Amino acid sequence: MKNLLKTSLLKHTLIYGIALFAASSAQAQFIEDGLRLSQSNGYITPRAGGLGVAYHGVSDDFAALYYNPAGLSLLGKNEVTVGLGFMRNATETNFLQNETPFQVNSTIVSHAGFSAPFKINGKNAAISIGYALENNYDNIVKIDGFNRTSSIIPGLPSPTLPEADLRTAGLGGFVNEKFVTPLRDSLQQTATIQESGGLHTVTGGAGFDLTDWVSAGFALTAKGGQYNYSRRYTETDIYNKYKTLDDVNYTDIDFRSLDIRNELTQDIEGVSATLGVQGKIDKFMRIGVTVKTPTFYQIKETFSTDLTATFDNDATGNITTGEETTAYNFTTPFIFGAGLSFNALGMTFTAGAEYNDVTQMQFSDATPEVTDLNLKAKEELNGQTTWGVGVEYEVPLAPIIVRASYTAITSPYKEDIAGADARIVALGGGIYLAPNVRLDGLFRWTDVSQLRANYGNGSGSQFIMQQRPLNIALQLTYRY
Amino acid sequence: MKLLQKNLLAGAAFALLGIIGCASPQGTREDYFGYNNKPVIEEEKPEATQPQAETAPQEKKWRNPLSDNSRTAHVYYEPVFVPVTAPWWDRYYGWEDYHHSRVVVMYPHHRVRYYDWDYANYPYYGGYPYYDRYPNYDRFPYNNYPDSREVEPVAAKKTSRGFGSSRGTINRDSEKDTRGSNNSGWKVRGRDGNVTTPTPEKPNESTSSSSSSRSRGSVGVTPRGGSSTEKKETTTTQTNTSKKSDSGAKKSEPAKSETKKETTNKVRGRGE
């Protein structure tokens, strides 16, 4: 019996310890901000999306500008291409065994580009310029659960929400010069997180044959866009655990609910370059190697927090931070890519891979809290590998081409949950409206899970978000 | 009607595709889209109507074009530019970027001299204003000296945000007040109905004169120094209470006045 009591005590101490640890820390920018900028969830063109990362092995149209610009020299004709996409981003969160699904739809212009081949010293070359959507941030997440072990309130004090303000709002008080709040657990927690925006790119580049069988290419990309994050987070004392106000020792507060609204807008601008080499073996095989230089981003943030606490006597306390701004720079790591393909009897098999060492992400010109993330990235992150295979087949006797691919992306974290490796399955095809006009379509399913936290890093605040976006897209390509 | 519009739009789109597609495609789909490691790029052929002067036999003897009375116009030859190296004494200084790219050395008497091949090797020219184009030729007017004054860089203050899709933690430095550098409207409304001015985290330096008196239900508003303050750091007088806990503050004893830096925040009274 004594042992049981001891074990129970130890357990509770541990839980409280974790909760207290969570409460004693707060976050500024996050590694996720860096990861979001270091990765791409776009597919450039529906054809490239249909082949996934395996498109590295083919790289023979406008999308080569983004994968391997050396492949532009394979264009024998002028090319005009444009694409439209639709995304249904379905998410499901698992928070305290509560599963909450949600989905959001968005329509995008995937790309628009022009390529023109020409001869230089008797050898093939081509230039290309165009627009592509590199990242689509549209996402909505809902979380709902009764949390017996922790609350956001003890961890609220931060540079943006000072203890004195929280006391004024009625969420706690000072005892022995320390901020104390009894509101630590047993509250119903709900959150709706809405992310939106996108990262747009304009790229220009050229590819040219060095010899009959080797070509090289380069591309320069300007990036710009916006990321919006909006969170409405509530905690409610649904069982009326907190009933009376003890404004001396703060052992209790007649708390009813807390409503926090966070708004964040990031204005993003960046530049990068891509260099590529492609070898062609006879008429049936290609091998390509690509280096994407780091993207140098300048980010401006505007953010605000609005907090309202409601009490049993209908009194309310409110903190409105107003809009604050900050700015910092961010540099992504190099990305190395390679691919090969071979063709026989109208069928093209292709494979590709990319390596993105996200541990080298670099925040700079920022607050110490943010630059600390550089070390944290090295401690917590891993190099990220993307690999995939694809196939494309020209259906004989019918003006149709079909393609399919499988792509896997390893988790950027050293330790992660099951399902954190993204898997992408794509099916696509094209119809030849004429020998020189093709209408391509794409269906692309992604499945990836992420571990996130409502606050802090402690037990009880984390939830698993499973994202299963479906992309449907159309591309029209005209060559002349 | 809407259905008709949709059908019309779709019809127009397909018609456009058809027109584009049938616009003289010369070849098969394999020619346009096939897996081809050696595509043939069609070069523009010279048109038959081009003047044949270029293809005229080169061995033909040169003849003075002016001697040909049958011609009504003379051939105009494009001017050809060739690189020319001008001696240093004969250089034209009007338009080159020559002056801007070299090293400038400032002397205490604020004379400017150039260490370059033409002056460094011939210092005696530097001593004569009329040779070094200064100031007679007005190349370097007096108000055009390099400005050596140090300019304080305008450093934008950084602020932190404390929310987002978090995976890790970083230590909080609550002692540091990062608010206010670019704040546009900080407001705190206490549940007790009194007005406060949010300040950096120091409970024992709480600037809240009235939030300490947490008498519930009170509606009175006690503005302290107006309802809002300037964003820039200003010095204001504040009432300090509540050294240890709110219970002490509840007694509402205005202790002493202390001078403190005000932050940027706006303060508003509470409304229940």
Give the Cα separation of A49 and A63 in Å (integer).
10
Q: State which residue of chain B sits closest to A281, comparing Cα positions.
A: B37
Chain A CB contacts of B240 below 8 Å: none
Give the Cα separation of A332 and A363 in Å (integer).
9
How far, CA to CA in Å, does B185 sit from each of A159, A164, B221, B263, B267? 15, 17, 19, 11, 9
Cβ <8 Å between A323 and B27? no
Give the Cα separation of B182 and A322 in Å (integer).
10
Q: How many CB atoms lie within 10 A of CB B9?
A: 10
The DSSP code sequence of A379-401 is HHB-EEEEEEEEEEEEETTTTEE
Over residues A178-198, mean pLDDT: 94
Q: Is the ipTM of this complex over 0.90?
A: no
> Which range is least confidently modeled, A102-111, A283-292, B125-134?
B125-134
Per-residue pLDDT band for B82 (boundaries 50, 70, 90) equals low
**B47/chain A closest Cα distance in angstroms:** 18
pLDDT of residue B40: 87
Over residues A38-66, mean pLDDT: 95
More confident residue, B270 or A380: A380
And the tokens for A140?
């909505």
Per-residue pLDDT band for A467 (boundaries 50, 70, 90) equals very high
Model pLDDT for residues B203-221, shown as the tens digit of each residue: 333 333 333 222 222 222 2
Over residues A470-480, mean pLDDT: 96
Give the Cα separation of B211 and A170 in Å (integer).
9
Per-residue pLDDT band for A381 (boundaries 50, 70, 90) equals very high
A residues 44-103 lying closer than 8 A (beta carbon) to B: 58, 60, 74-77
> Which range is least confidently modeled, A32-41, A192-201, B55-64?
B55-64
Model pLDDT for residues A225-270, shown as the tens digit of each residue: 999 999 999 999 999 999 999 989 999 999 999 999 999 999 999 9
Give the Cα separation of A278 and A74 in Å (integer).
10
CB B238 within 8 A of CB B260: yes
Cβ <8 Å between B174 and A245? no
Residues 6+ apart with CB under 8 A from A408: A386, A387, A388, A421, A422, A423, A424
**B228/chain A closest Cα distance in angstroms:** 13
pLDDT at A475 over 70: yes
Cβ <8 Å between B244 and A176? yes
Side chain identity, residue A317: G
Over residues A340-364, mean pLDDT: 95
Chain A CB contacts of B39 below 8 Å: 74-77, 117, 124
Over residues A126-154, mean pLDDT: 94
Q: How many CB atoms lie within 10 A of CB B91?
A: 11
A377 shares contact with chain B (CB less than 8 Å) = no
pLDDT at B201 over 50: no
pLDDT at B140 over 70: no
B51 shares contact with chain A (CB less than 8 Å) = no
Cβ <8 Å between A164 and B203? yes
pLDDT of residue B218: 26
The average confidence (pLDDT) of chain A is 91
Cβ <8 Å between B168 and A31? yes
pLDDT at B148 over 80: no
**Whose CA is closest to A342, among A401, A394, A287, A290?**
A287
Q: Where are the alpha helices (DSSP H) in B90-210?
A: 123-126
CB B263 within 8 A of CB B188: no
pLDDT of residue B145: 53
Residues 6+ apart with CB under 8 A from B148: B106
Cβ <8 Å between B270 and A317? yes
B28 shares contact with chain A (CB less than 8 Å) = yes
pLDDT of residue B262: 35
**B75/chain A closest Cα distance in angstroms:** 30
Best of A324, A349, A372, A392 to mutate (most B CBs within 10 Å, chain B): A324
pLDDT at A187 over 50: yes
Inter-chain contacts counted by CB atoms under 8 A, chains A and B? 315
pLDDT at B259 over 70: no
CB A144 within 8 A of CB A98: yes
State whether the Cα torsion B239-B244-B249-B254 is positive or negative: negative
pLDDT of residue A456: 76
pLDDT of residue A113: 97
β A347-357/A335-344 pair status: antiparallel
More confident residue, B105 or A136: A136
The average confidence (pLDDT) of chain B is 50
pLDDT of residue B75: 54
Residues 6+ apart with CB under 8 A from A273: A218, A219, A220, A221, A292, A293
Give the Cα separation of B214 and B198 in Å (integer).
16
Cβ <8 Å between B182 and A326? yes
pTM of the prediction?
Answer: 0.70
| Rounded CA Rg of chain B | 41
pLDDT at A276 over 70: yes
Cβ <8 Å between A433 and B28? no
Best of B167, B231, B238 to mutate (most A CBs within 10 Å, chain A): B167
Model pLDDT for residues B27-60, shown as the tens digit of each residue: 888 889 999 888 888 766 656 555 555 555 556 6
Chain A CB contacts of B187 below 8 Å: 318-320, 322
Cβ <8 Å between A401 and B33? yes
Give the Cα separation of B172 and A355 in Å (integer).
34
pLDDT at B151 over 60: no
Model pLDDT for residues A303-323, shown as the tens digit of each residue: 999 999 999 999 999 999 888
Model pLDDT for residues A3-37, shown as the tens digit of each residue: 444 444 444 444 433 333 333 333 467 888 999 99
And the tokens for A48?
């490239």
Q: How many secondary structure helices (H) and strands (E) does chain B include?
A: 4, 6
Per-residue pLDDT band for B79 (boundaries 50, 70, 90) equals low
CB A432 within 8 A of CB B29: yes
Cβ <8 Å between B178 and A480? no
pLDDT at B267 over 80: no
Cβ <8 Å between A366 and B158? yes
Over residues A357-373, mean pLDDT: 91
β A255-281/A285-292 pair status: antiparallel
Model pLDDT for residues A57-101, shown as the tens digit of each residue: 999 999 999 999 999 999 999 999 999 999 999 999 999 889 999
pLDDT of residue A240: 94
